[in-house]
């Protein structure tokens, strides 16, 4: 219902440049364009009573049926969905055609979910005013994984959550000494083997300290080195 939200977020910076370069085709559609009454009605009250309004099935069916191809994967953004994680972003990046449905008001007519939705995703255990914000986040996370978008493939290969469930290692840039805080000597050594080993150790330690839930999932045990 508010495609300008997605356009504003995804039309800038890395994702915006990827679209301009033709690395990805991104279309933000208004559900009201698939209505046929003068008021362009997309919602109505729920049967059985209750607070709020629901998105009607007619415009959603017309929209999705006009867009879907055999290669399409349709995702509904809603609080009931599985929590979106980096592993899901990598999986979604493999689809040729991805359609994100933005929930709004109190949700959508259940018949849309039953007939057209392939999976449901949520950003977490909280509720947003509309699903466009969530769709923009998922779009960004997925598009940046596509070949050529980031410029350097290792940019996404070495960041948080890219290697199992580990967080990213600490990073430093110039100056070498800032207010007495110095860059670790190993990063200045030029020894790529030692640097890789240091980074791996830092990822393990940082994950164990900051995200013990991820550490337990990655290591399979509860003991954590917090030194």
Residue 218 has pLDDT above 70, yes or no: no
What average pLDDT does the segment 108-130 reach?
A: 93
Q: What is the pLDDT of residues 78-115, one digit of tens each?
A: 988 999 999 999 999 999 999 999 988 888 999 999 99
In sequence order, the β-bridge partners of residue 119 are: 75
Per CATH, the homologous superfamily of domain 3-143 is SPOUT methyltransferase, trefoil knot domain (3.40.1280.10)
Supply the pLDDT for residue 33: 97
The pLDDT, as a whole number, for residue 97 is: 98
CATH number of 158-219: 1.10.1270.20
For residue 152, is pLDDT > 70?
no
Give the orientation angle of helix 13-20 with respect to helix 131-143, to 10 degrees: 70
Q: What is the pLDDT of residue 164?
A: 58
Whether 78 and 125 have beta carbons less than 8 Å apart is answered as no
Please give the Cα distance from 15 to 163 (Å, whole number). 23
Mean pLDDT of 106-130: 92
pLDDT confidence band for 167 (50 / 70 / 90): confident
pLDDT over 70 percentage in the chain = 88
Whether the per-residue pLDDT at 222 is higher than 50: the answer is no
Query: What average pLDDT score do residues 202-222 get?
Result: 76
* pLDDT confidence of residue 223: 45
Tokens coding 135:
């769709």
Average pLDDT over residues 41-46: 94
CA 206 to chain centre: 23
Give the pLDDT of residue 181. 93
Q: Is the pLDDT of residue 200 over 70?
A: yes
Strand partners of residue 83? 122
pLDDT score of 145: 95
pLDDT at 225 over 50: no
Question: Domain locations in the chain?
Answer: 3-143, 158-219
Mean pLDDT of 30-47: 94
Model pLDDT for residues 174-195, shown as the tens digit of each residue? 999 999 999 999 999 999 999 9
What is the C-alpha to C-alpha distance for residues 225 and 209, in angstroms, rounded to an integer?
Answer: 8
Tell me the pLDDT band of 58, cut-offs 50, 70 and 90: very high
Give the position of tokens 């994950």: 207
């Amino acid at each position: 219902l508010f495609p300008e939200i997605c356009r504003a977020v995804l039309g800038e910076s890395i994702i915006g440049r990827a679209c301009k370069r033709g690395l990805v085709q991104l279309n933000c559609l208004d559900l009201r364009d698939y209505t046929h009454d003068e008021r362009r009605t997309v919602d109505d009250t729920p049967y059985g009573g209750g607070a709020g309004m629901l998105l009607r099935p007619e415009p959603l069916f017309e929209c999705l049926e006009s867009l879907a191809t055999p290669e399409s994967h349709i995702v509904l953004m809603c609080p009931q969905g599985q929590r979106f994680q980096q592993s899901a972003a990598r999986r979604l990046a493999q689809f040729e055609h991805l359609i994100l449905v933005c929930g709004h008001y109190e949700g959508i007519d259940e018949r849309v979910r039953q007939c057209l939705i392939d999976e449901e995703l949520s950003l977490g255990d909280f509720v947003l005013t509309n699903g466009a914000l969530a769709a923009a986040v998922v779009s960004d996370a997925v598009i940046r994984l596509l070949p050529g978008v980031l410029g350097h493939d290792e940019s996404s290969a070495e960041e948080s959550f890219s290697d199992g469930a580990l967080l990213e290692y600490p990073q430093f840039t110039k100056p070498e000494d800032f207010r007495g805080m110095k860059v670790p000597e190993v990063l200045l050594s030029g020894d790529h083997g030692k640097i890789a080993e240091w980074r791996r150790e830092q990822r393990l330690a940082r994950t164990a300290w900051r995200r013990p839930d991820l550490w337990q999932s990655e290591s399979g045990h509860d003991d954590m080195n917090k030194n």
